[in-house]
A and B are shown apart, each in its own frame.
Chain A
Amino acid sequence: MIALFMIIGTIVLFYAMTFIYKRFTYPLLIPIFSTTVLLVIILVLSRIPYDTYMSGGKWINELLGPAVVSMAYPLYMHREKIFKYKTPIILSVLTALFSGLISITIFSKLLSFDDHILLSLLPKSITSPVAIPISEAIGGIPTLTAVFVIFAGLVGAIFGPVIFKVFHIDQAISRGLSVGSASHGIGVSKLAEYGEETLTMGSVSMTLSAIFGSFVCPLFALLI
């Protein structure tokens, strides 16, 4: 009973936040962020522990797996364009992966974060359904990773357009690839405003960075 209530509550709140975001499109109102903040506030105020919430939440969580599998479909639909630009795509996604991994490792060492935190930070640019199992596999804290991933996504959605302007990143492919491989789904959802080609490249790079990241992150973690 409680479980069903949690499921319905999450969906209703998410739906309401999506409606509000469409109305105002203010970047911080992005539904994944606002719904999470509201849910945490409601749960903490009504003294409901996370485990109780998850008795329902786990059923929503269960759909992440098939959602990742679904990304095969857009990849298949755009296979010709992807094969045409395969070299820049693969090289850019790898560049993004390593720039992210190396820079976050440097900052973690400078600020002397705990090793568990650094390991949880590593998969931050990879879409959550893949970042979470990677974090588990390399000894990070999956919940922290889930939140770091959201922050990395918000950076792309909020600062992406500014970065494009300041650094003259003005081609559809480079816009899509850079934000897609740095800020995954949340960044990609923002790319929709730049048209079909940018969006396609965004989802391609997000998928590829999830695939490459699954191999690269665990190897990189061994070096630390």
Chain B
Amino acid sequence: MLKIIRIVLQVFILYLFSLIGSWIVQILSFQFPGSIIGLLLLFGCLYFKIIPGQLIKDGAGFLLTFLALFFIPATVGIMDYPEFLSWVGLGMVLSIIISTTLTIIITGKFCQYLERKLLEKEQIE
């Protein structure tokens, strides 16, 4: 029971960070996801030891475990777009498959090259 209360309180703290992020975006009136500002703020607070990691650890763990669940209401919105089940829809899906596959190959190969160079440099030093 105590653990549940702790998680709820910690989720509330994380929610505050995301709210502050949205306010900042609104005040500066530029189009940007407020939650990313909240993420950067929280990282800064943790890094400069303004708040201890313990204060949000369980809440963050909880939210990240059920991350997939929070996406569902948005994805169910596809029901309002039946045209997705068409040739154009199929074209979109194929484009995504090819584009994402290419991205993984290019990034993976490039990263492996960078990693090898970093290792060589370390060995020389």
Number of interface residues of A (CB under 8 A): 99
Q: Is A71 an interface residue (CB 8 A)?
A: yes
Q: Which residues of B contact A104 (CB under 8 A)?
A: 95-96, 99
CA distance A113 to B104 in the complex (A): 24
B34 touches A174 (CB 8 A): no
Secondary structure at the A interface, as helix, strand, loop or mixed, is helix
Q: Which of B22, B100, B105 has the most CB of A within 10 A?
A: B100
A150 touches B105 (CB 8 A): no
Q: Which of A39, A69, A181 has the most CB of B within 10 A?
A: A69
Q: Which residues of B contact A211 (CB under 8 A)?
A: 36, 39-40
Q: Which of A70, A144, A218 has the most CB of B within 10 A?
A: A70
Q: Which residues of A contact B79 (CB under 8 A)?
A: 40, 43-44, 50
Assuming the contacts A39-B76, A169-B109, A174-B108, asked whether A100 and B103 have C-beta atoms less than 8 A apart, the reply is yes
Q: Across the A-B interface, how many residue pairs have beta carbons closer than 8 Å? A: 297
B96 to chain A: closest residue by CB: A151
B76 touches A31 (CB 8 A): no
Secondary structure at the B interface, as helix, strand, loop or mixed, is helix
Q: Is A183 an interface residue (CB 8 A)?
A: yes
A178 touches B68 (CB 8 A): no
CA distance A36 to B114 in the complex (A): 39
CA distance A185 to B65 in the complex (A): 11
B103 to chain A: closest residue by CB: A182
Q: Is A22 an interface residue (CB 8 A)?
A: no
Partner of A53, one of B73, B96, B106: B73
Partner of A76, one of B43, B63, B112: B43
Q: Which residues of B contact A163 (CB under 8 A)?
A: 101, 104-105, 108
Taking the closest CB of chain A, its distance from the CB of B122, in whole angstroms, is: 10
Q: Which residues of A contact B59 (CB under 8 A)?
A: 66, 70
A156 touches B104 (CB 8 A): yes
Taking the closest CB of chain B, its distance from the CB of A34, in whole angstroms, is: 10
Q: Which residues of A contact B91 (CB under 8 A)?
A: 111, 113
Chain B residues at the A interface, C-beta cutoff of 8 Å: 11, 14-15, 17-19, 21-22, 31-36, 38-40, 42-43, 46-47, 53, 56-57, 59-61, 63-64, 67-81, 84, 88, 91-93, 95-112, 114-115, 118
Chain A residues at the B interface, C-beta cutoff of 8 Å: 10-11, 14, 31-32, 35-36, 39-40, 43-44, 50, 53-54, 57-58, 60-61, 63-77, 79, 85, 87-88, 91-92, 95-96, 99-100, 103-104, 107-108, 111, 113, 117, 121, 124-125, 128-130, 132-134, 136-138, 141-144, 146-148, 150-152, 155-156, 159-160, 163-164, 167, 169-171, 173-175, 177-179, 181-183, 185-186, 189, 207, 210-211, 214, 218
Known: A39-B72, A70-B64, A137-B32. 5 other contacts (CB 8 A): A96-B107, A111-B95, A124-B100, A148-B96, A175-B108
